[in-house]
Structure 1
């Protein structure tokens, strides 16, 4: 009997496939891992090929009370690339489609291939699709008549981010696009695992996607003094001045362990527990709540039936906003830090803040760390924030690649995501220590 089987006699939910796209032309798991393990920063200038008002954007500081908009972010270089014929979509319809639909479809297809599943073979499967995504202001208004009218409703509807995938693959289980802002991807994982556990579907795709159709987020956060002023996302660092926007997509395949064993699928991890909550009435809507985050972590650990001391790695949210990082680290110190000494980090330092997809990228980072048997460094960790006393919190900031020692044949990790509208999501995973190398 495997360590996973011993840990849950009720046929647990497991992750058997994954795929990712990230800034810098990253479209394979191996390339993604190399960037993280080598502590590389994939930040580039703002895109000049999307019709964005770059001059006005960079001059936003002419308005009183605003911060600088840096000429920097984490952008998908392949966001405009798509082969509509391969997916049975006409070129005219493809242009009208939100690029989040195109990228999400492409990454979902790769996740199935990574699981050893032929995407062409799942037509009619009772399978779900749960994708986190937020509105991105792609294209003209739907009431503007042009050559693409007739495809604009499905092209821009958030529901079509997941619906397009289910339609293309022929999946007949639930298809839901989840928008809890930056907590969307982990919220989607929560819904997907519950759906499989409750028998709504035999297996499911879960994750998130973010492609910015406009620079609105840069304007908004500059005006609200929440944007990085130096073009770096310095999560948990003393030099953190604000977040830096990015893009990305990540999708995983979840099913019950018995199904994975029957079909010979590789098991990357068991999803021990997921939970979602809200800050409630705790100050301004956009301000995080350490109390809510602490309650969420405690509830997830209870659902996972695991002690906090077993967690060896926490992939945090790490927005690099001084107040956000302080409150998050306080919640982590009051939970994981009190019982153990986990390594804490955030890949937002590598790629920027991928918004609705951020939790999916953090989830895949954690899975790859578990498979590699090592934790990965966080950039700018040589100067940790002084907002907390690291010597007394029990937390360790990830400063380098270091061995991740298993406990009873498993590596236990956690992932956090927090949304700007007050939603919070957390997941706890158990990864078998003995794994074959991850393939692209």
Structure 2
């Protein structure tokens, strides 16, 4: 996908994040104020919390802190609003419920009536991973009969398309933590190829069980202090979180014809894989570098045009240095007369939202473009010593800083890397002329 005379643009978006955030204004406020949105484990999901917090007492297991970035509204839903019976709604993976309402808000944010799309050639591309909601599908319960659609990953995108009456391509993609940028890449390609007139793209993560905490406790890869310290010297591991984001993608000519606001142009996106070599879960700096170079080449801009990089930044002692090495080789360098790009990760605010992490990072970049400021990345005051920050010319964002435009445009980059070896990168351009406060919709606690 390359920059053309009629580029793909993002003309609407919506988000749900920890801390009760369900509007763009709330999301930006949390970022601008450098707030951490981490809280204790939810006590209404029937998780074995006492067992989780004592796993470290078993030899070879790491500590699980009573902390994570959890959606406070994950259990809230209004089934009749979406034409769903209460019995079916209970059997639905909460990821379907959250995705439905965030998609609705993204359409409203773009100025599109969600209730007037029946039969529209609109695509829906969502990233998500299995998160173990409810009993096994083979168990005979009062919800048997709804479990197939209630637990199928394909039903996350399918539920949105069905609820809105969209007849374009509809698919859920699972490339682990790279899922949301992969979904964006597929959506933009589909619009460009004429498979659909426009599309929804995004991702969702709601943990139906604490499986991710158990797995990373066994692997000793969880943060030992309950904080996600992206790119920090004292990072000890990642911290899991939840979230959802959906964007509207279409050709710029269509957006302008219909009066949709333009948050940014998607100049390029690319997806690749690590290939053979190290164990499948170990990141590859060389693969990430190849990906970033190809995305940059397709974007039509130079490396030193990039002013903001939203990195993956899981806070793991292995992953962060490898990612930084790849970023430094492409976006760093020693021949610049000006300061290099500011780097950060939204994971430092709200934990690692897994399949949804990339879309939350993208929305952070787009809101930074709207507001002309780059938020601080938390815990960046003591950056890792695994790279030489001075010679690479990369900078960690330690405070809210102005974001200067280049000839009226701000350029940003976003990375996501999946545990199964898939990598994704995207580059966006945000014209200053589009600057104004993000449109927000009326707050609904149950829609």
Q: Could you say which TM-score interval applies, normalised by the shorter chain?
A: over 0.9
RMSD in angstroms over aligned alpha carbons?
1.0
Deviates more, 1:350-359 or 1:381-390: 381-390
- Distance (Å, rounded) in 2 between the aligned partners of 1:291 and 1:27: 37
Match of 2:72 among 72, 77, 93: 77
Please give the TM-score of this superposition, normalised by the length of structure 2. 0.96
- Distance (Å, rounded) in 2 between the aligned partners of 1:227 and 1:8: 39
User: Which residue pairs with 2:214 in the alignment?
Assistant: 219
Q: How many residues are treated as equivalent by the alignment?
A: 434
User: Which residue pairs with 1:359 in the alignment?
Assistant: 358
- Distance (Å, rounded) in 2 between the aligned partners of 1:120 and 1:427: 31
User: Which residue pairs with 1:4 in the alignment?
Assistant: none
- Distance (Å, rounded) in 2 between the aligned partners of 1:200 and 1:262: 20
- Distance (Å, rounded) in 1 between the aligned partners of 2:423 and 2:115: 35
Q: CA deviation at 1:64?
A: 1.5
- Distance (Å, rounded) in 1 between the aligned partners of 2:397 and 2:111: 33
SS in 1 for 2:19: coil
- Distance (Å, rounded) in 2 between the aligned partners of 1:180 and 1:295: 18
Q: CA deviation at 1:8?
A: 5.1
User: Which residue pairs with 2:246 in the alignment?
Assistant: 251
User: Which residue pairs with 2:20 in the alignment?
Assistant: 25
- Distance (Å, rounded) in 1 between the aligned partners of 2:430 and 2:416: 20
- Distance (Å, rounded) in 1 between the aligned partners of 2:397 and 2:281: 27
Alignment of 1:325-344 (within 5 A): 325-338=320-333, 341-344=340-343
Change in Cα spacing, 1:427 to 1:389, as seen in structure 2 (3 Å) is: same
| Residue-by-residue CA offset, 1:38-73 (whole Å, 9 max, x unaligned) | 100011111111010101111111221111011100
1:406 aligns with 2:405: yes
Q: CA deviation at 1:362?
A: 0.2
Alignment of 1:212-291 (within 5 A): 212-291=207-286
- Distance (Å, rounded) in 1 between the aligned partners of 2:300 and 2:261: 24
SS in 1 for 2:295: helix
User: Which residue pairs with 1:438 in the alignment?
Assistant: 438
User: Which residue pairs with 1:167 in the alignment?
Assistant: 162
Q: CA deviation at 1:122?
A: 1.1
Q: CA deviation at 1:305?
A: 1.3
Q: CA deviation at 1:439?
A: 2.4
Q: Is the 8 A contact 1:43 1:73 kept in 2?
A: yes
> Post-superposition, which runs of at least 4 consecutive aligned residues in structure 1 deviate over 6 A?
none
User: Which residue pairs with 1:3 in the alignment?
Assistant: none
SS in 2 for 1:298: helix
Q: Is the 8 A contact 1:282 1:289 kept in 2?
A: no
Match of 2:108 among 106, 113, 123: 113
- Distance (Å, rounded) in 2 between the aligned partners of 1:195 and 1:204: 8
Q: Is the 8 A contact 2:232 2:315 kept in 1?
A: yes
User: Which residue pairs with 2:385 in the alignment?
Assistant: 386
Change in Cα spacing, 1:301 to 1:316, as seen in structure 2 (3 Å) is: same
User: Which residue pairs with 2:300 in the alignment?
Assistant: 305
Q: CA deviation at 1:121?
A: 1.1
| Residue-by-residue CA offset, 1:254-291 (whole Å, 9 max, x unaligned) | 00011111111001100000000001113111100000
Q: CA deviation at 1:306?
A: 1.2
1:134 aligns with 2:129: yes
Q: CA deviation at 1:114?
A: 0.1
Q: Is the 8 A contact 2:3 2:268 kept in 1?
A: no
| Residue-by-residue CA offset, 1:132-187 (whole Å, 9 max, x unaligned) | 00001000111111111111000000000000000000000110101000000000
Q: Is the 8 A contact 1:247 1:355 kept in 2?
A: yes
SS in 2 for 1:253: strand
Q: Is the 8 A contact 1:17 1:268 kept in 2?
A: yes
Q: Could you list the runs of 5+ residues in structure 1 that have no partner in the other structure?
A: 1-6
- Distance (Å, rounded) in 2 between the aligned partners of 1:8 and 1:235: 31
